[in-house]
Amino acid sequence: MLSEQERATAKRAIEALKTGDMETLVAEYDPDVEYVMTRTVDPANVRGVDAVRAVLRETADVVRGLAVEVDEIVEGDGRALYLAHFSALGGGDKAALREKWAWIWEFRDDKIARVEVYRDWGEAKDASGLAD
43-56 exposure pattern, b = at least 16 Cβ within 10 A, e = fewer = ebebeebeebbebb
| pTM, rounded to two decimals | 0.88
For residue 89, the domain's CATH number is: 3.10.450.50
Q: What string of pLDDT tens digits covers the 132 residues of the chain?
A: 999 999 999 999 999 988 888 899 999 999 999 999 886 556 678 999 999 999 888 877 777 777 889 999 999 999 999 999 988 876 555 678 888 999 999 999 999 999 999 989 999 999 999 976
Structural domain count of the chain: 1
Which pairing describes strands 111-118 and 29-37: parallel, antiparallel, or unpaired? Answer: parallel
Owning domain of residue 106: 4-128
